[in-house]
Structure 1
Amino acid sequence: MMHSLKFALACGVAGIGLAGAVPAFAQKRDFDVPSMPASRAIQTFARQSGVSLLASGEALRGVTTNSVRGKAEVQEALDEMLRGTSLKATKSGDNAYFIRSVPRPAKIAYTSYIDRQAAPITPPLVEEIPAQKNDFGLEEIIVTAQKRAESLQKTPISATALGSAQLETLGISNINDMTSGAIPSLRVAPFSGRASSYNITMRGIASGDAAQISRDAGIAIYVDGVYLGRVQGLGSELFEVERMEILRGPQGTLFGRNAVGGALNIVSKKPTGEFGLDQKFEVSNYEGRGLVTHLNLPKFAGISVKIDGVLKRRDGWIDNPLAGAKDWNSYSRRGIRVSALWEPTESLSFLYSFDKSRDASAGGYEQIGELIPAVSHQFGPLIQQEPRRVTRGRLGAPLEPSIGKVEGHGLTASLQVNDDLEIKSITAYRKLSQTTYDQAAGAFYGFSPNGNSGRTSLADVDQDQFSQELQIIGSLDRLKYTLGAFYYEEDADDWAYSFRSLAWNATGTDYSIVDKPVNAPADRASVNHSKSTALYGQLTYTPALFDDRLHLTGGLRYTKDKKRGGLTTLRGVPSTLAYRFSSSRLDPGASISFDVSNATQVYLRWGVAYRAGGANSRSVTFRSFGEEEVESWEAGLKTEFWNRKGRFNIALFDMSYRDIQVDFVNPATPTNFETMNANGTAKIKGIEIDAALRPLPGLTIDGSYSYLHYKMPLTLNPFTGLPVTTFLTYTPKHAASSSIQYRFAETAIGTPFIHFDGSYATGSHSFPGDPYKTDSYFTANSRIGLEEILVGPGTLSSSFWMKNIFNEQHKTSTVLVSGNGTTNANWTWYNMPRTYGVELRYRF
């Protein structure tokens, strides 16, 4: 009786809609059911269809349904909603359906439900066919760009999303893998070749010298709703990712401070509550090896647990002649994450996660590029220019890995009050420790008889942060709303020290290793404390006009930032230099969108975002700088066509970039920086295009392109006192990427596939005052494999991949090094040569 009572209660939650005396099966109805957890989806479907849906709560757990939109019969719409899941709907009575689990869903092709006006619904094919999920249309992309799950095609924002399968195919497992340029408008590069921090740029807006703890990034990075305050520690491997959302342009309302260029929103996979193992093995050239484990445990006491583990290593691709020293660009990474999902009721859930990782990566190798004309270049016989990518260092030099240790706790509590209201709390505490070990190996200091060279640069950053965000996400009859409160606090300290680790003989024909000085004081050290509080809200109103196709959105965010810091050591002696920054702001945003049809949307978006000020710890005066602001206009078109086999999105933007934080290098001492707010306004405009086509079952073609043009105001150089022209960094004028993938029909032994992708970009500047540019390039990658090979209780997949197929070489970053005693040359870092490997993956 108790079992029957539990089942009746579960059915009662699902069975909401009651039909009248006339059966509802054959009636066509309008549906608007987004992709969501099955328990919520059937409630929404029942209400819209007028039929009862009966299901066991256990059958629904861990299942996410497809979206259904447009006019359709109930049976057709139900089949579409459950397509590809473990659920099947069976008619039960006059106006009811029973939903149950099935061992394996039938692979059935359906006509698209997206554009009802362009193509009316046709009955589904009832015979089983050897096709993959949704082989007759492009997959719908669900994002949380506006803090709620919704279709990317219905979101009036220029955005791109990569799902877990796409990330795996492209070989993206960490932030560093994004340096390939797979997303044209997103540029990622190690800061000055370092393995410990990254410069992330979007729409021409970069972090600058974000390695400093008092400098904030220009692109906000979120992992599972938690804002990451530092660019250090980003070299760690990502755990199992459900999707990665790239939100382009200022996101000042919902994502707040330091999202002046855009936001990178990473969403991890949750525990399923069902036993499952996903085990991957990888070997590659340069002695690369990888082991990745994703383990879901059976639900116990109402709690679902998931364990993710990563272990990867690879030798460097530039040999270090010094025995026992690390090669440049080598790495060893490991990490673990444990997440637990407790759902005491259908409407209440708690997701806790703990992660800990260690990244030991050697920095990049500084090649000696172009020489500064009309100055001395005393290289000596063992040092010379390196106009092409090298495979061996010019000198053997001490080199150790930079060690990044990151760990954090997160708790997300969600209460689904009803179908139209969700309250969510996201609490997190994170800390990191990042060391840096850079070795110039003769590229910094020129040769002098019996003098020292081989600059070794050491640094360390320790940071911890606490954040709390409360979100209220709901909807009324014609109004969707998102309200939130955000609190963030961060403490950090750092130090840096450099010494000359090589000693020349009198003729420069030989050298010896100089030991690191013992108990030497830091060259510089600083501390920083940041606190940010915010209240935000966004409303979307759909007036009773134009058949509900017009949507008006307005948002506002109040932010109060306070920062303080001090330069505790300067040139090896104690310092009392300090700074304070405080700002209170209202950043607005608004958009208007119109659904031309169920498959086409046009929109106009306006918004303002800002980045907080700070101080430059590389400055001998600890000069502070103020905030900067971006105002953006964006017009876009999103459309799907050809029965959802084609997709085309385009965005045009025009931005005013005010009070830009610009870094200048002292020409006499290249380690001395100053950061200034530029007078005037920079103008940035451009175009972004994303397109996809699925002309045949199994064949998918994707392409993206970005164009950007900018004009910078003259800025006063604090070292020369003269107005100079500066540049936006890591901002190519043209960038593009494309891919083609074909999944063959399923065979008796598995499903073969083949994939090719390529990226192109024109050259760009790496430093605001450096006139030298990186190279234009085109690189191509591939992956071929066989999936779903039945082995025991699970399936085996195997694939062979290759990156940079044609072994193309190009400069990825440049830094001009000049001054008395230096090589007076342009440091250059190059892209990685051809790599290839084999992956085996077993899942059950």
Structure 2
Amino acid sequence: MDFSRRARLLAVNAISVFAVATATPAAAQMIYTIDLPSQKLDVSLRALGSTMGVTIAFDPATVRGLVAPSLHGSYQPEQAIRLLLRESGLGVRPISRGSFLVTAGAQTPPRPRAGVQQTSAMVADPASTRQPLSEAVSSADSPPAPMIEDIVVTAQKREESLQETPIAIAVLTQDALERRGIRGVTDLMGGAVPSLRMMPISGRPSAYAIGIRGIASLDSGAISRDATVGLYVDGVYLGRTQGLGSELFEVERIEVLRGPQGTLFGRNAVGGAVSIVSKKPTGEFGATVNAGLSNFDGRNVGAHLNLPEFANISIKLEGMWSERGGWVDNPLGGQWDWYASNRHGVRATALWEPTSDVSVQYSYDKARDKTTSGYSHITTLFGATPTLPPMFGLDVGRQRQARMGVPLQPGVGRTEGHSLHATWEISDALTLRSISAYRKLTQSQFDNDAGATLAFRPNGRTGRYSLAYVGQDQFSQELQLLGTYDHLKYVLGAFYFDEDANDSAHVLYTAAYNAAGTGIILTNPPTGGPFPDRASVNHVKSKALFGQATWTPAGLFDERLHLTGGLRWTHDQKRGALTALAGNPSPLAYTFASKRLDPAATIAFDWTPDINSYVRWGTAYRSGGANSRSPTFGKFGAEEVESWEIGVKSDLFDRRARFNVAAFHTRYRDMQLVFSNPSGGSVTEVINTDRPATIRGIEADLTVVPVTGLTLNASYTYIDWSVPPQINPYNGQVERVVVMITPDHAASLSADYRFDPFSFGALSLHADASYSSGSYAHPSDREKSSPYWLVNGRITLGELRLAGGEAAISLWGKNLTNKTYRIFDYPITGLGTINGEITYYNEPRTYGVDLKVKF
């Protein structure tokens, strides 16, 4: 069948294996030294793509059973591919700069680039596969033209070009993560993706609020509530936000899908989804070791080891360890400081490929994160009556030492998981996938407020110690059937999720003031009421069927029109109980059940091979539940979003510039809102809004490569929202409600320049800055945080040749201007409290040195 170039590429992508690597923009025209043994053709093609930093797309059925000759010498990518294929009867065709498609049919000579003399080295010589570099490029060779590389994403459950996927997506590649110093999910809080916002609730590393496009949840750490953003690691859904403090292993890319993803990603993706894609085993020996030192006594080391393939099995082993001291000192000797951490983790992955069309990958990971809580700065008092002791007053700005020394220990998060990915290429046009996973986590919490809650009374209690525990385990199973038929490509799937969780919370007091309020006396053991203050259990079962199809009508608009429709059926069942309240057994329980359909539709059109636009509509929902912070275990209903999005994606000026822009309008029904009891901030009620909220905005991403080695990036997000006033269940008053952690304006800028000033290595310079116009910390907040710019930088001397490998050394700094801004605040009101506001600030300036060695 005669497909257009785009339709052919998309069809092959659905059933092909990609060898993708990040390299300089001119990778397709550079000369590389290659040393490959004779082996299976698909293995050689993957290895060649990884070495040269190009994308090689091929149909596994076409190369099945073929063996590639050995290849030794210096070549351009297209030339090297042709030499690997010279005995196969297959051909190769460039489909874009840096991307090649293996085709059935005879070889044709490669296209010479401007300024290059076409010599015998540029056409396969049947007698030899080794050609001298001097014969490949003439002395008149012109510099390679800069261009932007292709990025492959899996936002629609199949590998596709970022530019050809009609969804607003931000992608952070492995190199981008390294340059920005992003080693964990929580590092995304720095604003690398402007529309993705993160915030530690009450400064706790175990409880993060995550939002995209203005849709976030204040208390998603509660086991009977769910997040608004779906988190996925290698296709496995993470049911809880606890455990996110652990550092990531070797990541290929992070995809941030902006806007509701109710059809393909399902429940609790009303704001969007974050998909983390790990690097697979290569089947070839290779090792990477990272080590670093930083201020605040920071140290880290990590290793990634790929073992040679044996019996069609490829194994990868990874480990990491890091620790850092706190940046708010605890005056009490022998105790942890605030914001200190100690983390370690391991992962093992085995990829079995018994045939060219079957692969099975098993992964096991285990990690531990010991991190102390954030420090409660007392920044405002609401009344005229003094509530603080003479020994301390208000905190002005970010503090370096606590106002009192108190017992403090880290919260400990432990995560462990097994996953099994199986893929069967049933035919050239049909692929079956299975993703099975079991995960469990435990998370403890030990927060000491150092006198920031209770008002001073002679000999009165202080040093509030907030203790909490969460335990959770989950099993998930997803099946996907991906196919192509004529001008149709589709995915059908089924999903099952089973979760059990339990939690508890208790408050103790670790000290008492003296009569004059000029000092404290530690109380051992700490004082408090009957254990626990509250405890609950929760169980979830969710089942779903989903499907999506894209039709490119034959003979209509030269096959430039693409129509996509999708539908997801979800059946959620939840039940839970408040098992203890104020130290006594509780009879309170709840159930929740929902069956619903979430449709989606997209119309996309290719105006030129490099410019396309789309209109997208879809719905998504977040399940209901119950609030364990409510003394009545208050139940709340599900919420739903309906979103329209229009976008344009473009590669301009011979791919020297890429500009993507999207505008969206979201209607937010039955929004789940949290109201705090003014008599006690840890007691809350959750209600559903009685009228819809609206959120609308614009997102724009620009990448420019004006000259070879220089890459400039800019991203901007504008969001406008409107939430109808709601009745506060505690006072019966109609109150204004705000959207949390969502600045009106947010931006991210970066510049990267790589050049070769030395004969022994390459120098890379990186600078990035993120901007926020300020946002609210919680739905009842009355004042935005101040606007801020956050500036980071990195200098790397890389490509330093070692025996059998290469090394790179980097100097880096974050928050170079030492900017102070508020990340969370909360009023502490009620009888016997300080009647004021506590604030948590961002990290101060950090800096360090990293060493990376690859073999």
Tell me if TM exceeds 0.5: yes
Give the AA of the match of 1:468: Q
8 Å contact kept, 1:197–1:235: no
Task: Quote how far apart the aligned CAs of 1:59 are.
Answer: 2.3
2:206 is matched with: 196
Moved more, 190-199 or 596-605: 190-199
8 Å contact kept, 1:775–1:812: no
> How do residues 286-305 of structure 1 correspond to structure 2 at under 5 angstroms?
286-305=296-315
1:665 is matched with: 676
Among 748, 752, 768, the alignment partner of 2:763 is 752
2:510 is matched with: 501
> How do residues 435-474 of structure 1 correspond to structure 2 at under 5 angstroms?
435-474=444-483
Secondary structure, counterpart of 1:444 in structure 2: coil
Task: Quote how far apart the aligned CAs of 1:745 are.
Answer: 3.1
Q: Kindly indicate whether residue 726 of structure 2 is the aligned counterpart of residue 741 of structure 1.
A: no
1:356 to 1:133, Cα distance in 2 relative to 1, 3 A? farther
Deviations 1:648-677 (A, max 9, x none): 010000000010100000001222110001
1:273 is matched with: 283
1:149 is matched with: 159
8 Å contact kept, 1:306–1:339: yes
C-alpha distance in structure 1 between counterparts of 2:686 and 2:413, whole Å: 27
Moved more, 123-132 or 174-183: 123-132
C-alpha distance in structure 2 between counterparts of 1:812 and 1:756, whole Å: 23
Deviations 1:168-194 (A, max 9, x none): 111001012111111100011112100
8 Å contact kept, 2:416–2:440: yes
2:828 is matched with: 817
C-alpha distance in structure 2 between counterparts of 1:683 and 1:344, whole Å: 52
Task: Quote how far apart the aligned CAs of 1:40 are.
Answer: 4.9
C-alpha distance in structure 2 between counterparts of 1:132 and 1:375, whole Å: 75
8 Å contact kept, 2:45–2:56: no
Secondary structure, counterpart of 1:807 in structure 2: coil
Among 171, 181, 185, the alignment partner of 2:191 is 181
8 Å contact kept, 1:63–1:85: no
> How do residues 691-710 of structure 1 correspond to structure 2 at under 5 angstroms?
691-710=702-721
1:288 to 1:340, Cα distance in 2 relative to 1, 3 A? same
Q: Kindly indicate whether residue 590 of structure 2 is the aligned counterpart of residue 589 of structure 1.
A: no
C-alpha distance in structure 2 between counterparts of 1:739 and 1:271, whole Å: 31
Secondary structure, counterpart of 1:167 in structure 2: helix
8 Å contact kept, 2:13–2:158: no
Deviations 1:66-116 (A, max 9, x none): 4589xxxxxxxxxxxx966995323987994699xxxxxxxx9996789xx
Q: Kindly indicate whether residue 577 of structure 2 is the aligned counterpart of residue 575 of structure 1.
A: no
Task: Quote how far apart the aligned CAs of 1:54 are.
Answer: 11
8 Å contact kept, 1:112–1:644: no
8 Å contact kept, 1:591–1:603: yes
C-alpha distance in structure 2 between counterparts of 1:241 and 1:749, whole Å: 28
Among 692, 716, 721, the alignment partner of 2:732 is 721
Among 113, 132, 140, the alignment partner of 1:123 is 113
Among 427, 431, 445, the alignment partner of 1:422 is 431
Task: Quote how far apart the aligned CAs of 1:132 are.
Answer: 15
1:463 to 1:134, Cα distance in 2 relative to 1, 3 A? farther
Among 837, 840, 843, the alignment partner of 2:848 is 837
Task: Quote how far apart the aligned CAs of 1:596 are.
Answer: 0.6
C-alpha distance in structure 2 between counterparts of 1:297 and 1:95, whole Å: 28
8 Å contact kept, 1:111–1:122: no
1:40 to 1:165, Cα distance in 2 relative to 1, 3 A? closer
Task: Quote how far apart the aligned CAs of 1:686 are.
Answer: 0.4
1:808 is matched with: 819
Among 631, 644, 649, the alignment partner of 1:633 is 644
Among 353, 370, 375, the alignment partner of 1:360 is 370
8 Å contact kept, 1:363–1:401: yes
Task: Quote how far apart the aligned CAs of 1:56 are.
Answer: 3.4
Moved more, 484-493 or 474-483: 474-483
Among 595, 615, 621, the alignment partner of 1:610 is 621
Among 606, 623, 630, the alignment partner of 1:619 is 630
C-alpha distance in structure 2 between counterparts of 1:149 and 1:441, whole Å: 51
Task: Quote how far apart the aligned CAs of 1:36 are.
Answer: 6.3
Secondary structure, counterpart of 1:392 in structure 2: coil
2:325 is matched with: 315
8 Å contact kept, 2:45–2:81: no
Task: Quote how far apart the aligned CAs of 1:772 are.
Answer: 2.7
Deviations 1:610-629 (A, max 9, x none): 00000100000000000000
C-alpha distance in structure 2 between counterparts of 1:133 and 1:109, whole Å: 21
Q: Kindly indicate whether residue 495 of structure 2 is the aligned counterpart of residue 486 of structure 1.
A: yes
Among 523, 536, 539, the alignment partner of 1:529 is 539
Give the AA of the match of 1:311: W
2:336 is matched with: 326
Deviations 1:698-756 (A, max 9, x none): 00000000000101011111101122111111010000000001000374211111000
Deviations 1:328-380 (A, max 9, x none): 001000000000000000000000000000000001101012222x4634101
1:109 to 1:547, Cα distance in 2 relative to 1, 3 A? closer
Question: Gaps (5+ residues) in structure 2?
Answer: 20-37, 58-74, 101-110, 117-135
Q: Kindly indicate whether residue 385 of structure 2 is the aligned counterpart of residue 376 of structure 1.
A: yes
Q: Kindly indicate whether residue 41 of structure 2 is the aligned counterpart of residue 56 of structure 1.
A: yes
Deviations 1:594-651 (A, max 9, x none): 0011110111000000000001000000000000000000000110101001000100
Task: Quote how far apart the aligned CAs of 1:196 are.
Answer: 1.0
1:542 is matched with: 552
C-alpha distance in structure 2 between counterparts of 1:219 and 1:756, whole Å: 29
C-alpha distance in structure 1 between counterparts of 2:819 and 2:645, whole Å: 35
Question: Gaps (5+ residues) in structure 1?
Answer: 1-16, 18-27, 43-52, 70-81, 100-107, 115-120
C-alpha distance in structure 1 between counterparts of 2:588 and 2:450, whole Å: 33
2:776 is matched with: 765
Give the % identical residues: 48
Among 480, 484, 489, the alignment partner of 1:475 is 484
Secondary structure, counterpart of 2:681 in structure 1: coil
Deviations 1:805-835 (A, max 9, x none): 1111111111111111111111111111111
C-alpha distance in structure 2 between counterparts of 1:31 and 1:631, whole Å: 30
2:82 is matched with: 89
Secondary structure, counterpart of 1:153 in structure 2: helix
C-alpha distance in structure 1 between counterparts of 2:331 and 2:662, whole Å: 50
> How do residues 23-62 of structure 1 correspond to structure 2 at under 5 angstroms?
32-33=8-9, 40=17, 56-60=41-45
C-alpha distance in structure 1 between counterparts of 2:145 and 2:531, whole Å: 64
Task: Quote how far apart the aligned CAs of 1:33 are.
Answer: 3.7
Task: Quote how far apart the aligned CAs of 1:58 are.
Answer: 4.4
> How do residues 228-243 of structure 1 correspond to structure 2 at under 5 angstroms?
228-243=238-253
1:430 to 1:694, Cα distance in 2 relative to 1, 3 A? same
C-alpha distance in structure 1 between counterparts of 2:490 and 2:420, whole Å: 23
C-alpha distance in structure 2 between counterparts of 1:129 and 1:416, whole Å: 44
C-alpha distance in structure 2 between counterparts of 1:134 and 1:198, whole Å: 46
Deviations 1:404-457 (A, max 9, x none): 000000000001123322110000000000001111101111211110011110
2:360 is matched with: 350
C-alpha distance in structure 1 between counterparts of 2:502 and 2:741, whole Å: 28
1:224 to 1:40, Cα distance in 2 relative to 1, 3 A? closer
2:149 is matched with: 139
Give the AA of the match of 1:650: V
> How do residues 236-251 of structure 1 correspond to structure 2 at under 5 angstroms?
236-251=246-261
Secondary structure, counterpart of 1:169 in structure 2: helix
Secondary structure, counterpart of 1:670 in structure 2: strand
C-alpha distance in structure 2 between counterparts of 1:304 and 1:147, whole Å: 24
